[in-house]
Amino acid sequence: MRRQSRHFGGSTALCRCVLFLALACCTSAAHAWRGTVAEREVEVGGYLETRQVFRTNRSTEHELNLQRLHLESRAWIEEWLSLEVAASLQNGGPATRSTRSGFYDIDNVFQSVSPAVEIEEAFLRIGLDRFGARIGQLKHSWGKLDRFQPNDVINPERFADPVLIEEGERKIGVPSVELSYNLPEREWLPEEGVFSFVVVPRYIPFRLPQPGERWFPPNAVPAEFFKLPEEVYGSDRSVPLSLEVRNSSVPSFSPDNASVGARLAAHTRGVDYGLYYYRGHQTDPVFELGAEARAVSMDQGGIAGVTLLSPVFQRIHLFGADLAFTLGRFGFRAEVALTKDKPFNRDLLSLLDSPERLEPGLSEAIAAVVQGASAAAVDLGQTFAVSDALQWGIGFDTKVFDFDVLFELSQTDVLENTDKLLVEDTETVLLGDIRRRFLRDDLSLQLVSMYGASSDYTLLLPRLTYRVWDRVELRLGYAFLSGRSRSRLGQYKGNDQAYIRLRLYL
């Protein structure tokens, strides 16, 4: 049995929350430190937090108490040159199948590490008159929309905890060079124009949890048994079926595998707008499904089936634009992107629903095992689709009776597709964010919602955040998920949870 001694979990989780609160009370007077080291100005800040999840569905996988220390620092080498680093140390949480501690591997998709140290960003910032640069491990933020940015394609994300952590924290920093140039003031040039160019010389993949952990995609987990076609064996017969995940080799470090992007951001007559270009690897998760027939002991039936899930790394070509402006007390924003050769996940389990469609590859694999082979592959064909796609979104925000209200409508149109995908060919999503502040902004009530109108799934995140002291914040929240099992978020239904998070800002 694997030891769990390095995690904080079980019945002691609430006691640890109380101890953390006591520590916060004693140290709430702390402030971000700013001083001089080796005659250089240095600033250090961050936060320390703990989170406890309370499962409200019996089917929800176990999750440990989470502790996280996040630190950000900046050191000025010269007035125009600084070094910035953001790092975190995390223990527990959904990482219940961790096999080691330390750093995450930058080449693997399926992995679980706890306790884990992660350098989220580390770069040199150069600021001259009109030129600027960031060089190192970076997070990039493109697009105008708040929660769905079709042009924000440079950074992959980690999906070990995709619901409760914010978008910026989910991003994985990538080695890159970002150069920017502030356009001069000319009549024929846009106002406040900034041209940016980004090069990512080495691909860093997205990251998913291990099978059996809470947020592993259930749509990728097959049924326990696979029913063989009656016409093959003359009678009904089922074989046990299991899942294995494999980490595919990432693209090699070479100029041909580099990703490049460019953005022109400007302001004209009260309208902020941007133009985007990207050519490189897609950072959204896409998977390929394989299958094998394997020999087992006769006591187990002689034959077993295994599905093999591995990540896919495809290159895309994107052209995009966005804009934002205010009209009275309303703020409006819009974003659009046309992506060439974009890969999409197929409904993987549907590939196994009909054994007849797997013939004759299935019969050949079973015959090979019967004749003495230890394993034989079953040809499933290409299990992901590649199509051009148009993605767009519009949104507005305003204030209604002291409530801050944000609504967004987004849509993904898969062009000329003939395969059954996990998403619909026209996938429409509605997003809402309603917030009300009380007690001089010390208390905040918020409801974040998402509804997949095409695939029929719902996500609701009500939460209450209270600033107990100057730098101590307490959050109580709930996560509600529902929908069709074969949809982007509906597959996670049954994962409802209440949670409490305590954060001390340093």
pLDDT at 314: 94
Tokens of 321: 């634009």
**Residue 185, token pair as written in the block:** 């003031």
Task: For 224-255, write each residue's pLDDT tens digit.
Answer: 888 876 665 556 678 888 999 999 999 988 99
Side chain identity, residue 274:
G
Mean pLDDT of 150-169: 91
- Cα angle at 90 between 84 and 92, to 5 degrees? 170
Looking at the predicted structure, is the pLDDT value of residue 6 above 80? no
Lowest mean pLDDT among 60-74, 370-384, 456-470, 486-500: 486-500
Instruction: Specify if 1 maps to a domain.
Output: no
Other C-beta atoms lying within 10 Å of the C-beta of residue 269: 7
**Residue 110 falls within a domain, yes or no?**
yes
**Looking at per-residue confidence, does 352 or 137 come out higher?**
137
Given a cut of 50, whether residue 263 has pLDDT beyond it is yes
Chain centroid to CA 426: 22
Tokens of 116: 């884990």
Residue 145: phi, psi to the nearest 5? -70, 160
CB 171 within 8 A of CB 155: yes
Identify whether 162 is part of a domain. Answer: yes
Number of domains in the chain: 1
> Is residue 364 classed as helix, strand or coil in its secondary structure?
helix
Main-chain dihedrals φ then ψ at residue 186, nearest 5 degrees? -135, 150
Q: What is the average pLDDT across 149-155?
A: 95
Helical H runs in 28-80? Answer: none
355: left (phi over 0), alpha (psi -120 to 50) or beta: alpha
* CB-count exposure of residue 427 (10 Å: 0-12, 13-18, 19+): buried
Strand residue runs (E) in 296-364: 303-311, 315-327, 330-345
pLDDT in tens, 312-327: 999 999 999 999 999 9
| Tokens 């970002």 -> residue | 178
Using CB atoms within 10 Å of the CB of residue 232, give its burial: 0 to 12 exposed, 13 to 18 middle, 19+ buried: middle
pLDDT, tens digit (0-9, with 9 covering 90-100), for 338-349: 999 999 988 877
What is the mean predicted confidence (pLDDT) over 158-167?
88
Of 427, 419, 413, nearest to 484 by C-alpha is 427
pLDDT band at residue 25 using 50, 70 and 90 as cut-offs: very low
Among residues 103, 74, 75, the alpha carbon closest in space to that of 88 is found at 103
Structure tokens at 75: 């050191």
pLDDT for res 354: 65
Asked if the bond preceding 115 is cis, omega within 30° of 0, the reply is: yes
| Percent composition of the chain: helix, strand, coil (DSSP 3-state, to 5) | 10, 55, 35
Mean pLDDT of the chain, nearest integer: 87
pLDDT score, position 233: 56
| pLDDT bracket for residue 299 (50, 70, 90) | low
In this predicted structure, what is the pLDDT of residue 392? 97
Nearby residues of 201 by Cβ (< 8 Å), 6 or more positions away: 175, 176, 177, 253, 255, 258
Q: Which residues span the domain enclosing 107? A: 10-505
Query: DSSP letters of 113-160?
Result: EEEEEEEEEEEEEEE-SSEEEEEEEE-----S-SS--TT--SS-BB-S
Predicted pLDDT of residue 339: 97
**Res. 21: pLDDT tops 50:** no
Residue 309 counted as domain residue: yes
User: Is the pLDDT assigned to residue 19 strictly greater than 60?
Assistant: no
Q: Residue 298 in 3-state DSSP? A: helix
In a domain, 478, yes or no: yes
7 has a pLDDT exceeding 60: no
Dist CA 274 CA 195 (whole Å): 10
Residue 360 lies in a domain: yes
Average pLDDT over residues 88-117: 93
- Find the mean pLDDT for residues 398-406: 94
Checking if the pLDDT of 90 tops 90, the result is yes
For 208, other C-beta atoms within 10 Å of its C-beta total 26
Report d(CA 413, CA 221) in Å as an integer. Answer: 27
Return the pLDDT at 33: 86
The answer to the question of residue 2 being in a domain is no
* Residue 183 DSSP label: P
Give the pLDDT confidence score for residue 455 in this predicted structure: 82
Predicted confidence band of residue 504 (pLDDT cuts 50, 70, 90): very high
H or E segment at 83? strand 81-91
Per-residue model confidence as pLDDT tens digits over 325-383: 999 999 999 999 999 999 998 887 777 766 666 777 788 888 888 888 899 988 888 88
> Cβ(386)–Cβ(392) under 8 Å?
no
Which runs of consecutive H residues, i.e. helices, occur in 267-425? 350-353, 361-370
The domain that holds 348 is classified in CATH as 2.40.160.10
The span from the CA of 17 to the CA of 247, in Å, is 36
Which residue matches tokens 């994985």? 172
Q: Would 3 be classed as within a structural domain? A: no
User: Is the pLDDT assigned to residue 454 strictly greater than 80?
Assistant: yes
CA dist 297 and 301 (Å) reads 7
CA gap 392, 14 in Å, rounded:
44
Q: What's the token pair of residue 98?
A: 């961790």
